[in-house]
């Protein structure tokens, strides 16, 4: 257990800073103090354990298999085992010739000196296994916990095999990481689906075919999911078995390094979707019962079991578990040059109930500061953020949290938990609910604005209309919600423009634009949705006869000059290009000064721009009054009705709009605009 060494003076000073940002937290200062002191206790313990946190968190240099000049060291923590042996192709699978020595910390280790000719005792790209003898005498085989490559041969078995990976010529990075963006325009991607072909795509194919698209579309950040090795492809990468091994389905570790290096050369920042909230329950190729016990890496049952995910939950009070997880973060930065992380499943970590079992988050502060808060896992997250930002100032961390925990994305120096961003998870829920359950005529303008701006002013939010979650089987993409099966027959320019397709194209652009313009301090798009990818995502599995039909991205659709997908693709590019120029995501929250439920009109100002949206399904407005702060000329810089975006071209974009004095919409000036139905306009100011 972690001793109580928190510094009340430091905690009190920093919590006071947090309360200044949110006075509603005043009555919860004791709970905030307890939370912050738990973090200080843990950090203090790690700083005074061995040679300090810096070395502690570089465990991948000591644990697992590591080659030095005169041989290979292998170290493994297995407190529940009686004996340990290393076996593999190198010793013709002899189970007893390479017994490991146990030290006082329950670490088994063995040194394999080089061969007489100076070559390593274990050849590169050969299979190995850890053989453990349990106190009962039972012999079990395990994939080493710190293994850096694991492969699967489905013709023989679904179980992953450990591979010793030490290429004679290591990959040499050519490009430095780009500077940390002031705001993120994120392209969320899954390597395996990043091809129109019915197969698992590769790192190399992604580098060659998808990175240029990301650059063309003006995204400045790539967020890669499903990198950490996972046995079940359909888990979307969220049931990890080997935490230090990039998924071999997509290629070699060097292929992934090349992908990241190439992205950096294009000026693209790269994030890893890291899964430290839970682990896959596999035994033969995972961490479950690794040393024969159920409480080595995880809490024992039932605390260590997630009833919904059917996965295992880490014990964040164990020093060796903390070494494993903190070292894992540094490994991906040091060895692969990732620039930061999206932490998956943070809500599950923050609360002992994991946000399941009928739990609802209403925003009542009592929900955040009760005995249900899990201080152990929260302390881990705070130490992880502290370590990352201290050692890698260019890094970014993102929290996937649906609860709205106050202070989650406030710096630790101000009493927060240290994340840089949280995902705006209520926004996609709103859009799917509106599109799927309500008539367009009933869409509530005020509610849309409230959801898009319902965030803590001092905590940055990443806005998005849809991510991988909304595309999974059982749901479908926004484009498919809007246009459904007509996308199969009427997305050609030579087919008639049906009312449903017309509506879908228009609303797809408007939804993305208002989400980017109003919803947060960064923006995220899931691969393929930029062009209105049809259908949904369904990975090959027994239930669909192992089909790849819905586990791909049909990039051929926007590339076809005769299909209407290209309009949405081009709009997405122009929207991001405009954000790069006018920087609205890094501007203060949008100032909504007018909503009209009858007209279905929303106007606001952000990034020194004026935004006008007409969501009315059939009604256009001539000389519509729009309030403005600016005295002078207003020029259209983005028009969703432009023909190059699949619109009707009803607006003369060369027309300049001059402000007129007069109080309207709480402004001293106004302009008059023509705003067609289902159209959005963005104006810049000129003198």
Count the neighbouring beta carbons within 10 Å of the beta carbon of residue 444.
Answer: 14
Positive or negative CA dihedral for 637, 497, 439, 432? negative
E runs forming strands in 27-82: 64-68, 71-77
Both tokens of 391, joined, read: 């050692």
**What is the distance between the alpha carbons of residues 132 and 144, in angstroms, rounded to a whole number?**
11
**Mean per-residue pLDDT for 602-629?**
98
Mean pLDDT, the chain, integer: 96
CB-CB contact of 525 with 219 (8 Å): yes
Both tokens of 9, joined, read: 């003076």
Candidates 41, 291, 376, 400; catalytic one: 400
Based on the residue annotation, tell me whether 261 is a catalytic residue of this protein. Answer: no
Closest CA to 621 of 604, 601, 603, 641: 601
**Mean per-residue pLDDT for 87-96?**
98
CB-CB contact of 74 with 86 (8 Å): yes
Residue that wins the pLDDT comparison between 5 and 240: 240
pLDDT at 585 > cutoff 90? yes
Which pLDDT tens digit goes with each residue over 270-324?
999 999 999 999 999 999 999 999 999 999 999 999 999 999 999 999 999 999 9
SS (H, E, C) 527-589: CCHHHCCCCCECCCCHHHCCCCCCCCCCCHHHHCCCECHHHHHHHHHHHHHHHHHHCCCCCCC
**Mean per-residue pLDDT for 439-443?**
95
E runs forming strands in 170-230: 185-190, 221-225, 228-229
What 3-state DSSP class applies to 500?
Answer: helix
CB-CB contact of 528 with 554 (8 Å): yes
pLDDT for residue 126 = 98
Q: β-strands 305-306, 311-312: how paired?
A: antiparallel
**What is the distance between the alpha carbons of residues 530 and 192, in angstroms, rounded to a whole number?**
18
pLDDT for residue 473 = 65
Angle between helices 375-391 and 29-47 (to 10 degrees): 60
What 3-state DSSP class applies to 656?
Answer: coil
Rg over alpha carbons for the chain, rounded to the nearest Å, is 27
> 594 pairs with which residues across the strands?
603
Both tokens of 286, joined, read: 């995972």
Rounded to 5°, angle at Cα 126 from 202 and 66:
95
The domains of the chain are located at: 8-56, 71-164, 591-686
Residue with tokens 């946000």: 355
pLDDT at 601 > cutoff 70? yes
Closest CA to 602 of 585, 621, 574: 621
- For 71-164, CATH number? 2.60.40.10
pLDDT for residue 457 = 86
Lowest mean pLDDT among 33-42, 351-360, 591-600, 668-677: 351-360
Which pLDDT tens digit goes with each residue over 184-222?
999 999 999 999 999 999 999 999 999 999 999 999 999
pLDDT for residue 6 = 57
**What is the distance between the alpha carbons of residues 614 and 677, in angstroms, rounded to a whole number?**
6
SS (H, E, C) 350-404: HECCCCCCCCCCCCCHHHCCCCCECHHHHHHHHHHHHHHHHHCCCCEEEECCCCC
pLDDT at 474 > cutoff 70? no
Candidates 344, 374, 502, 570; catalytic one: 344
CA 109 to chain centre: 36
Confidence of residue 2 (pLDDT cuts 50, 70, 90): very low
pTM above 0.85, yes or no: yes
CB-CB contact of 271 with 223 (8 Å): yes
* CATH topology agreement for domains 71-164 and 591-686: yes
Confidence of residue 154 (pLDDT cuts 50, 70, 90): confident
Q: List CB contacts of 97: < 8 A, sequence separation 6 or more.
A: 85, 87, 91
Both tokens of 411, joined, read: 């710096």
Q: How large is the greatest C-alpha to C-alpha distance in the chain, in angstroms?
A: 91
Confidence of residue 8 (pLDDT cuts 50, 70, 90): confident
**What is the distance between the alpha carbons of residues 634 and 23, in angstroms, rounded to a whole number?**
39
CB-CB contact of 45 with 56 (8 Å): no
| Topology of domain 591-686, CATH | Immunoglobulin-like (2.60.40)
DSSP letter for 13, please.
Answer: H
pLDDT for residue 3 = 39
End-to-end CA distance of the chain: 66
Based on the residue annotation, tell me whether 400 is a catalytic residue of this protein. Answer: yes
Closest CA to 171 of 259, 291, 271: 259
Both tokens of 427, joined, read: 């926004």
pLDDT for residue 13 = 95
Q: β-strands 601-606, 591-596: how paired?
A: antiparallel
């Amino acid at each position: 257990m972690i001793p109580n060494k928190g510094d009340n003076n430091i905690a009190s000073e920093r919590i006071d800073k947090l309360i200044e940002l949110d006075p509603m937290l005043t009555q919860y200062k004791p709970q905030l103090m307890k939370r912050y002191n738990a973090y200080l206790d843990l950090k203090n313990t790690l700083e005074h354990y061995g040679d300090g946190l810096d070395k502690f968190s570089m465990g991948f240099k000591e644990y697992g298999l590591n080659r030095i000049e005169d041989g290979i060291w292998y170290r493994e923590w297995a407190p529940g085992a009686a004996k340990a042996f290393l076996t593999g192709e190198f010793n013709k699978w002899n189970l007893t010739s390479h017994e490991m020595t146990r030290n006082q910390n329950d670490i088994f280790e063995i040194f394999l000196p080089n061969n007489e000719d100076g070559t390593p005792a274990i050849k590169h790209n050969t299979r190995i296994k850890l053989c453990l003898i349990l106190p009962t005498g039972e012999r079990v085989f395990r994939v080493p916990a710190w293994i850096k490559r694991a492969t699967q041969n489905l013709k023989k078995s679904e179980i992953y095999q450990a591979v010793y990976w030490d290429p004679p010529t290591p990959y040499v990075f050519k490009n430095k990481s780009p500077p940390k963006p002031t705001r993120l325009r994120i392209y969320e991607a899954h390597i395996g689906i990043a091809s129109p072909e019915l197969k698992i795509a590769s790192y190399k194919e992604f580098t060659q075919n998808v990175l240029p698209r990301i650059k063309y579309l003006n995204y400045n950040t790539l967020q890669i999911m499903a990198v950490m090795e996972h046995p079940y492809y359909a888990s979307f990468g969220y049931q990890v078995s080997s935490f230090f091994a990039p998924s071999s389905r997509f290629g070699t570790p060097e292929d992934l390094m090349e992908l990241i290096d190439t992205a950096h050369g294009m000026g693209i920042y790269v994030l890893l979707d890291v899964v430290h909230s839970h682990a896959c329950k596999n035994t033969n190729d995972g961490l479950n019962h690794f040393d024969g016990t159920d409480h080595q890496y995880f809490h024992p049952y039932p605390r260590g079991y997630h009833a919904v995910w059917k996965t295992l939950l880490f014990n964040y009070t164990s020093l060796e578990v903390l070494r494993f997880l903190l070292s894992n973060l540094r490994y991906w930065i040091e060895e692969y040059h990732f620039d930061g992380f999206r932490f998956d499943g943070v809500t599950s970590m923050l609360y002992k109930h994991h946000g399941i079992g009928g739990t609802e988050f209403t925003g009542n502060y009592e929900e955040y500061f009760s005995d249900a808060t899990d201080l152990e896992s929260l302390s881990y997250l705070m130490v992880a953020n502290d370590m990352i930002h201290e050692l890698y100032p260019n890094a970014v961390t993102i929290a996937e949290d649906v609860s709205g925990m106050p202070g989650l994305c406030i710096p630790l120096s101000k009493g927060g938990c240290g994340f840089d961003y949280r995902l705006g998870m209520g926004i996609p829920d709103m859009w799917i609910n509106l599109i799927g359950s309500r008539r367009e005529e009933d869409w509530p303008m005020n509610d849309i604005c409230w959801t898009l701006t319902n965030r803590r002013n001092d905590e940055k939010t990443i806005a998005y209309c849809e991510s991988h979650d909304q595309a999974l089987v059982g749901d479908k993409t926004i484009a498919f919600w809007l246009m459904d099966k007509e996308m199969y027959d009427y997305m050609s320019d030579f087919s008639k423009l049906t009312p449903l397709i017309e509506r879908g194209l228009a609303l797809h652009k408007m939804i993305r634009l208002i989400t980017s313009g109003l919803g947060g301090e960064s923006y995220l798009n899931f691969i393929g949705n930029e062009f209105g990818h049809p259908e949904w995502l369904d990975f090959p599995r027994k239930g669909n006869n192992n089909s790849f039909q819905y586990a791909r991205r049909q990039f051929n659709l926007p590339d076809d000059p005769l299909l209407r997908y290209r309009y949405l693709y081009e709009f997405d590019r122009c929207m991001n290009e405009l954000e790069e120029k006018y920087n609205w995501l890094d501007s203060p929250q949008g100032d909504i000064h007018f909503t009209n439920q009858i007209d279905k009109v929303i106007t606001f100002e952000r990034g020194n721009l004026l935004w006008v949206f007409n969501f009315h399904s059939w009604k256009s407005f001539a000389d519509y009054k729009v309030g403005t702060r600016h005295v002078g000329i207003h020029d259209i810089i983005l028009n969703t009705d432009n023909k190059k975006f699949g619109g009707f071209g009803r607006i003369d974009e060369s027309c300049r709009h001059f402000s007129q004095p007069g109080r309207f919409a709480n402004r001293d000036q106004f302009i008059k605009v023509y705003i067609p139905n289902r159209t959005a306009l963005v104006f810049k100011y000129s003198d």
